[in-house]
Amino acid sequence: MCAVTESSHKLSTIELSVPSELGYEKVVRDTIAAFARRLGFDNERIDDLKTAIGEACINAIEHGNGGVPDQRISVSCICEDERLTVEVRDRGVKPYDGHAAVPSIEQKLQGIAPLRGMGLMLIAQLVDEADFTNHPAGGNLFRLSLYRRRDAAHP
């Protein structure tokens, strides 16, 4: 079956909700990869997307939902024309503190800063846009977008 048969004006959306438990980020990754493949994204972009989504979900599980297993994570994927946007929403047990200074790799290597905590840095390198907002109904909403072609975001 052909992947890119949809006319470009059509908006394609899928929604996914999973338990807030480590391991389920892989189900989210595989599902969104299938969606991107169906929309005709190439494998390299899909790999970037999978890594970024895995990190975003782990952040939501560990931080946003504070490791509370009864919480859930909601993920929406919207594709319009050349851009695929993924929104990861947690329940905001712990709101994102956007003002915390991000430690540098040097600080981490010197042992001044924790070795973990590189997820957002990694995501920023892989996708074209990524930011946090507050969801109107509460919780953190992390949104990332990527264009079909790597250079399309900065023409």
Strand partners, 141: 89, 133
Annotate each residue in 80-119 with x if it binds another protein (CB under 8 A) or - if it does not, as one string: ----------------------------------x-xx--
What span, in angstroms and rounded, lies between the C-alpha atoms of 28 and 42?
18
Tell me which stretch binds another protein (CB under 8 A): 34-42, 120-128, 137-145, 146-154: 34-42
20-28, 48-56, 123-131, 143-151 -> range binding another protein (CB under 8 A): 20-28
CB proximity list for 135: less than 8 A, separation 6 or greater? 89, 92, 141
Residue with Cβ nearer another protein (36 or 130): 36
The CA-based dihedral angle spanning residues 105, 116, 64, 43, taken in that order and rounded to the nearest 10 degrees: 80
CB 62, min distance to another protein, A:
6
Residue 22 makes contact with another protein by CB under 8 A: yes
d(CA 19, CA 32): 16
- 16: tokens are 């996914």
Which residue ranges make up the site for another protein (CB under 8 A)? Answer: 1, 3, 5-6, 10, 12-19, 21-24, 26-27, 29-31, 33-35, 37-38, 61-62, 66-69, 114, 116-117
